[in-house]
Amino acid sequence: MSVDEQRDLYERLDRAVTAISPRAAPVESAMQRGRVIRLWRRSAVAAGVAAVVAAGVAVPLLRHATGGPPSALFTATVLPPDPHAPPGLIASGTVNGQDWQLVAGKPGSNGAPRGQQVIQTSGAAFGDGPPITVSPAFRPSGQAPVLFGALAAGPVQVQFGAVQADVSYVTVRLGNGTALTLHPAGVYGTRAVAFAIPVGASVVSATAYTQHGEIATAIPFNEPGGTASFGTWLRPGEHGLARSAGRIGSGTYLGGDWSATAYLGPWGICLEGIAGGTSADSCVDTTSASALHTNVLFWTSGAPAVAGGSAAASVTRIVVTAPDGTTSQVNPVTVGGAKFFAFPMVKGLRPWKWTAYDGSGGAVASSQVVPLS
């Protein structure tokens, strides 16, 4: 890549990051057991650069409207690693007969910030989707056999991530009956896999194998019309949460509608909020709903904005204090044996404070949210 190309890439990334306005993720003290594995933000307006999130990291992710669910008759392939492939090639294949490739730049190069790397999509499968993405630098997880992250470019979603050192291959079962086999490719000192399918297509499971056999299976949460979120990896014989879903808050605030929903299942717990033309989601890696702490897990950046999170079993009410000092009370909602809460906000630089109380009136937890525009 030439100096001029590097400068152009850096300027594009800088403009995209400025437009997204990323901030620190609200994931501290989210769980006593488990870990927050994903937080992404979706804008209703298409942008030129997408951001990617891998498990354990929270950054915005822009997505593009797809115009409806994909056909269940789609086809998808992943080619075996090519020993003569250029440096950084994670994987390649086809979606509906059209080629795709995913290539990683060296961490910290090509204008990527330190600790991150440029991910580039190419091929007809992606249509007019954004060709450049910034991702946290690949590194294996100490818990998950595969640390899947996702990006959506045009009509296609790509799932990709680093694998643990002992993983020999990964099989992915899709909702249309296709089975893909992913063989790790060397990418700048680590090993990674990837596959591509239409946005909105469902993934049934991913199973990781060593040379001695199966080690764990992940059943993802498939966001309707969006991408799959890989969270909890279940060891052979281990069972995840039972599937359940429910609205944890909704209403109209300052003339705008908002809502928030909790989805529980073998993927763990996923929360989604929609308000002001944007949506945000967060998934928690857990097999026990009773282990939840009280914490805000996501917030949107629309007008209005909405925040949502989990609540410990002892929590009976949450008091929200606006920047002007006015207060409102939110009652937690139980879904699948776990408690959750959500409340609307006005985006801006001033913090909204919240405090959770138990039945005796004692404060259980408190923090604040700054819903940046």
Average pLDDT, the chain: 83
Instruction: Look at the block and give the residue holding tokens 């702490």.
Output: 293
Helix (H, G, I), strand (E, B) or coil at 291: helix
- Dihedral, 264, 257, 19, 51 alpha carbons, nearest 10: 20
| 321 CB burial (10 A radius; 0-12, 13-18, 19+) | middle
Q: What is the mean pLDDT of residues 38-67?
A: 32
Burial 139-171 (b: 16+ CB within 10 A, else e): ebbebbbbbbbbbbbbbbbbbbbbbbeebebbe
Higher-scoring residue by pLDDT: 277, 192 = 192
| pTM over cut 0.85 | no
Angle (CA) 144 13 306, round 5°? 65
Q: What is the mean pLDDT of residues 234-242?
A: 93
Helix (H, G, I), strand (E, B) or coil at 90: strand
Question: What pLDDT digit, counting tens, does each position of 132-184 carry?
Answer: 888 888 898 888 999 999 999 999 999 999 999 999 999 999 999 999 999 99
- Could you tell me the domains of the chain? 3-234 (no CATH), 244-369 (2.60.40)
